[in-house]
Amino acid sequence: MKSFDLLSTVVDGGCSCKLPAQELAEVLANLPGTPHENLLVNTDHHDDAGVYKLTEEMALIQTTDFFSPLCSDPYEFGQIAAANALSDVYAMGGEVLTALNLAAFPAKIPLTILKEILRGGIEKVKEAGGIIMGGHTIVDDVPKFGLAVTGTVHPAKIITNAAAKPGNVLILTKPIGAGIIMAGHRLNETSDENLQTVLDTMKILNRRGSQIMQQYGVKAATDVTGFGLAGHALKMALASQVTLKISPANLPCFDTAYALVETGCIPGACFRNLDFVEPHCRFEPTTSFNQKMLVLDAQTSGGLLICCPSSSVDAMLLDLKKSGYPFSAVIGEVVEKEEKALVVG
């Protein structure tokens, strides 16, 4: 069972198989909405999840995510896909309540593989303190797995994309460059060890990060996934009507990711994300082509991009590092809205 390579079933895995941002926007535009006074965060904001108020003390967070395999081992794939889906709850400052499995599987592959994928996912949900409520599996040529997740958060403590304030400091909790390393590995240009570091980082839940954000009264954050650091930072800047400045020199990135970009190993997702980001972004002349591709690199189950109140930065960084995010770093700041919503350099 272990010798079956899940990657043999796919071409584009992980969050690289997201629909490109503008195409998604086109599809969603002008669709009928379902406004409601209890809908605290809706799809208009293109936030990480939707939030619905149940009582004065509790709001429900709902989100879903699934994709095709990005690694060889089915159990690891289940773990990563689950962590990725759960991440949106944490980006909103919530805790996980329940989850449903969403799976697609080819008829001709042994079912033991599917079992391993599901086991990986279920164990990750358990680690998050969530309850598995069931799920649904269909037949498909390419395996897919993910979750539909329900989380909870206090209505007054929701962390959104739209509350970034000038003066906030940007903290990123996990390194970037995952997409580049995965592409490099498919070409045998990166070691198994480097790949394993990336996969292990993807499995880390953003749960402690969410709890730390609530401790420090953070109001704005997002998680970094398929649109790359630049894409998700841009969405936050646009929703909050501010400008985010990112300093490439301070970005934590995976070992050898930079060297790989240098050789031209640039996943297609970088160019898709560039199309989305470019009209709203100024890349300063000091930002190299390689750094540009790095900030556009699609991540899977990436870290939290936190808008931290300036007075709490040192304390929050220390707490994050002690809580399982040792590569957390200050990567930029939020300023008053300028001509471009995002500045890199």
Partner 1 sequence: MKTVDARGKLCPVPLIMTKKALTEMSENETLEVLLDNDTSAKNVTRMLEEFRMSVSLTKNGNIFKLTVTKTGEVPENSHAEDFCEIENQEISNYVIAFQRNTLGEGNADLGIILLKAFVNTLPEVNAKPRKMVFLNAGIFLAINDSPVLEALKTLENMGTEILVCGTCLDFYEKKNELAVGKVSNMYDILEVLATAGSVLYP
Rounded to the nearest whole angstrom, what is the least distance from the CB of residue 50 to partner 1 in the complex? 32
* Closest by Cα among 176, 177, 10 to 77: 10
Q: Does 302 bind partner 1 (CB under 8 A)?
A: no
User: Taking a C-beta distance cutoff of 8 angstroms, is the pair 251, 302 a contact?
Assistant: no
Rounded to the nearest whole angstrom, what is the least distance from the CB of residue 79 to partner 1 in the complex? 17
| Residue of 140, 271, 279, 315 interacting with partner 1 (CB under 8 A) | 271
Contacts of 255 (CB under 8 A, 6+ apart): 194, 197
Rounded to the nearest whole angstrom, what is the least distance from the CB of residue 56 to partner 1 in the complex? 35
Size of the site for partner 1 (CB under 8 A): 38
Q: Does 292 bind partner 1 (CB under 8 A)?
A: yes
- For residue 269, the tally of other CB atoms under 10 A from its CB is 26
Q: Which helix (H) or strand (E) holds 330?
A: strand 329-335
For the packed helices 111-127 and 74-91, what is the interaxial angle rounded to 10 degrees? 30
| Residue of 3, 37, 249, 339 interacting with partner 1 (CB under 8 A) | 249
- Residue 173 CA: distances (Å) to CA of 38, 77, 311, 319: 31, 22, 18, 11
Residue 54 CA to residue 38 CA, distance in Å, equals: 7
Q: Is 17 one of the catalytic residues?
A: no
Q: Considering only 120-128, 224-232, 301-309, 326-334, which stretch makes contact with partner 1 by CB under 8 A?
A: 326-334
Q: Considering only 98-106, 219-227, 232-240, 255-263, which stretch makes contact with partner 1 by CB under 8 A?
A: 255-263
Nearer to partner 1, 38 or 196 (CB): 196
CA 260 to chain centre: 22
Residue 162 CA to residue 318 CA, distance in Å, equals: 26
Q: Does 251 bind partner 1 (CB under 8 A)?
A: yes
Please list every residue from 128 through 187 that binds partner 1, using CB under 8 A.
175, 177, 183, 187
Q: Does 291 bind partner 1 (CB under 8 A)?
A: yes
Helix (H, G, I), strand (E, B) or coil at 305: strand
* Closest by Cα among 64, 45, 48, 219 to 146: 64
Nearer to partner 1, 85 or 269 (CB): 269
Q: Which of 15, 270, 307, 308 is catalytic?
A: 15
Nearer to partner 1, 27 or 289 (CB): 289
Q: Does 285 bind partner 1 (CB under 8 A)?
A: no
Q: Considering only 17-25, 149-157, 217-225, 320-328, which stretch makes contact with partner 1 by CB under 8 A?
A: 320-328
Residue 173 CA to residue 43 CA, distance in Å, equals: 25
Q: What is the CA radius of gyration of the chain?
A: 19
Rounded to the nearest whole angstrom, what is the least distance from the CB of residue 253 to partner 1 in the complex? 4
Helix (H, G, I), strand (E, B) or coil at 251: coil
The 48-87 site mask, x for binding partner 1 (CB under 8 A), equals ----------------------------------------
Instruction: Give the position of tokens 């279920």.
Output: 122
- Residue 278 CA: distances (Å) to CA of 179, 226, 243: 19, 16, 14
Rounded to the nearest whole angstrom, what is the least distance from the CB of residue 271 to partner 1 in the complex? 5
Rounded to the nearest whole angstrom, what is the least distance from the CB of residue 200 to partner 1 in the complex? 12
Helix (H, G, I), strand (E, B) or coil at 34: coil
Q: Does 321 bind partner 1 (CB under 8 A)?
A: yes
Question: Applying CB under 8 A, which residues contact partner 1?
Answer: 11, 175, 177, 183, 187, 248-255, 257-259, 262-268, 271, 274, 288-292, 294, 321-324, 326-327, 329
Catalytic residues: 15
